[in-house]
Structure 1
Amino acid sequence: MGGQLSAPEGVHVVVVGGGFGGIAAAQQLKSEGLDFTLIDVRDAFHHNVAALRASVQPGFAQRTFIPYAETFGHSFLQGRVDRVDTDGQRVVLQGGREVQYSHLILCTGTDGPFPGKFNTEASYQTAVQTYEDFVQQVQAADSVLVVGGGSTGVEMAAEIKTEYPDKKVVLIHSRIGLADPELRSSVRRQAKEVLLEKGVELLLGHKVLNLSDLQLNVTQKNTVLTTDKGETLTTDLIVCCTGLRINSAAYSSGFSGSMADNGALKVNDHLQVDGFSNVFAVGDCADVREPKMAYHAGLHAAVAVTNIMNSLSGKELVEYHTGNVTMLLAMGRDDGVGQFNGLRLPRCVVALGKSRDLLLWKSWREMQQKQP
């Protein structure tokens, strides 16, 4: 390819985590002709932007998992990273396998409750079936309680009510404002309006007591629970959309001195991990003050790979700067709210741009595979 760097001797980039940032980094490394290994616990990329749709619509889940090996061949390695030996510059997997690196890109992302997240070690087929099984639980319930009114909870409630308008859907949230605090207040109000229009019941300023003791994601008719304000609720199915946390297990021992309190990695403007010029953090595990989104992970990946290329050729490193917030919330397949570069978008634009297909086309194109 024209303009491609001839790979210098001894250069091997290891990318830990095959989420949005990981596949963007791997594709750029591949196109630049650099030797690399992409490591992930699963055998397929999960387009989890569409995970909530896959939770309510039968047959949809298979479109949200894209096999790594078909795209990256022998440059993909399935396994769970146990630790990073920074002195020896090697990644150690569970089971003892080691992979040497000259440069390391950490893209371990966040973890949280199913169905919004699916970070289990599982085959493509098992992952798809797990979502199909959950769809059956939703179908069996006459009423659903969604716990958590951040962006995930808002989208989850809208997806259920859109697909099954006759079901009773209640959204409970500990705060009064819905969705991500980084969004414009007018967009957050719009999200509330859409939910109410769809018939979702809102219980704001309440917390579910003893959530950890309750059975989640399984339909149990007439389950009774209580809120911290003494409100009693009866529901058939409880779906938790709270509790996202940084996935730091792979690097916590090797980079303990470079971690923020929440487990994210401290980075400079070049996205280099604090104290390591050849290690980069990308996406949710980078301690960058901005919403945790697939869109930002892709931007981070481009900066990290460009800086690896520039360091090899002696060029100046580029910087990453957070811009105005761009965030789109799919409120079911027929509606949505959001903002682009800080400006609120019309609902119809979000519905057309994101909600109908949930940007699946983009991931299939990035992975250079044909969507089923």
Structure 2
Amino acid sequence: MAHATARACRRQRHTSVRAVVPGIIKDEQIFQPIESGFASYPKESFEFVLGTATGLDVARKAALVSTPSGPRSLPYDYLVLATGARSASPDMPWKSANSHEETLSLLHETAEKVKEAKHIVVAGAGPTGVECAAEIRFEYKDKEVVLLSAHEEVLGGDTIAKGVEAEVARLGVQVKRNARVRSSRPLPGGQTEVTLMTGEVIKTDLYLPTMGIVPNTEYLDASLLNKHKYVSVDECMRVKGVDNIWACGDIVSYPRAGFMLTDKQAAGVVKNIESTIKGKEQSAVKGMPVDVFICSTGRSRGAGRVGWVKVPSLFVWAAKGKTLGLNWLQRYAEGTQW
């Protein structure tokens, strides 16, 4: 019988940039207990393990985990790696920290800093940075919000870039193009000095870097990773070079991070494990029928596309901007989404 294991925090966090605006979202809207969602599974065939993955012994077919009660070695017949990613800036709340308590503390601290700051610099003009800057400016019309884009256009020049930039400009966000950050340092008075690659120096009350994520793959042998430290997988989401190990989510080498893509990957992995157990051929894991990319700009507008077709702002608000996906959190935590 396969041994089911999980690397999990005490609570599951659904990332929401809206939470950095004080008083808009309650803690329970972005944190939900996850262990109760497994209550219907028989104890003899399922075990919930609270801990952190620390190693993988492929030869012995065992996952090594650090738990509050000490280290454990969990044997497996089939293994799924889904340890996610963390923010490249460890003091930012864009991804889960080491624990629920640490993540909550970071979130509250950031929200309080946003409340007090008069001048805010958001570095990184990907979806997180754009939505963060828009959320702050939507709520606080008296704050000066500057969005730094490393490129000529926000969102890496996606086809909706111009529409999104128009929306954030409409809110009063200042967008600086070709503004890649070289360094930042705290100043004695509490401000932060941000130096751009051009040599320009910006002093701000609050610096919010949103650039990049780091895959949680330190526990894996380098032979399983690509040069960027993501897990190398094939079209079936199998980890290359080993047997009976799959991976999905933010740690895999392609296509890109995103919960809708992860849903498809997880479903495909389950089917392929079932096929393997039955001695059947595995199938390539298919993504979304069309690429959907929507970016909210505050609590009432946004821009997006379905495939190459741009969608109206009202659609983006209804699909994402209204709740930023928080309405799905409880169903995900309880396992009733599927």
**Shorter-normalised TM-score: what interval?**
0.7 to 0.9
2:198 — aligned with what? Answer: 229
Query: Residue 287 and residue 219 in structure 1: after superposition, are their counterparts in 2 closer, same or farther (change >3 A)?
Result: farther
1:308 — aligned with what? Answer: 273
Q: Does 1:46 align with 2:13?
A: yes
Alpha-carbon shift at residue 273 of structure 1 (Å): 0.7
Q: Deviations over 1:22-68 (max 9, x none)?
A: xxxxxxxxxxxxxx22212x2111111x1x11111324333111112
2:22 partner SS: coil
Alpha-carbon shift at residue 72 of structure 1 (Å): 2.0
User: Which of 225, 246, 249 is the equivalent residue of 2:218?
Assistant: 249
Q: Does 1:318 align with 2:283?
A: yes
Q: State the distance in 1 between where 2:263 and 2:189 align.
A: 37
TM-score normalised by the chain length of structure 1: 0.80
Unpaired runs of at least 5, structure 1: 1-9, 13-35
Alpha-carbon shift at residue 83 of structure 1 (Å): 0.3
Alpha-carbon shift at residue 318 of structure 1 (Å): 2.0
Alpha-carbon shift at residue 126 of structure 1 (Å): 5.0
- The answer on whether the counterparts of 1:337 and 1:345 sit within 8 Å (CA) in structure 2 is yes
1:333 partner SS: coil
User: Which of 67, 76, 95 is the equivalent residue of 2:48?
Assistant: 76
2:120 partner SS: strand
Q: State the distance in 1 between where 2:332 and 2:202 align.
A: 44
2:109 — aligned with what? Answer: 133
Using the TM superposition, name which of 93-102 and 110-119 deviates more. Answer: 110-119
Alpha-carbon shift at residue 171 of structure 1 (Å): 0.8
User: Which of 44, 61, 64 is the equivalent residue of 1:92?
Assistant: 64
1:258 — aligned with what? Answer: 224
1:142 — aligned with what? Answer: 118
2:262 — aligned with what? Answer: 297
User: Which of 154, 158, 174 is the equivalent residue of 2:134?
Assistant: 158
Q: State the distance in 1 between where 2:247 and 2:156 align.
A: 23
Alpha-carbon shift at residue 115 of structure 1 (Å): 3.6
1:136 partner SS: helix
User: Which of 169, 175, 200 is the equivalent residue of 1:196?
Assistant: 169
Q: State the distance in 2 between where 1:126 and 1:231 align.
A: 34
Alignment of structure 1 residues 171-186 onto 2, 5 Å = 171-181=147-157, 183=158, 185=159
Partner AA of 2:229 in structure 1? G
Number of residues of Structure 1 aligned to a counterpart in Structure 2: 323
Alpha-carbon shift at residue 71 of structure 1 (Å): 1.1
Query: Residue 11 and residue 208 in structure 1: after superposition, are their counterparts in 2 closer, same or farther (change >3 A)?
Result: closer
Alpha-carbon shift at residue 85 of structure 1 (Å): 0.6
- The answer on whether the counterparts of 2:79 and 2:245 sit within 8 Å (CA) in structure 1 is yes
1:272 partner SS: coil
Unpaired runs of at least 5, structure 2: none
2:85 — aligned with what? Answer: 110
Q: Does 1:11 align with 2:10?
A: no
1:144 partner SS: strand
Q: Deviations over 1:281-315 (max 9, x none)?
A: 10121112x33111111110000011111111233
Q: Does 1:220 align with 2:190?
A: yes
Partner AA of 1:47 in structure 2? H
1:329 partner SS: strand
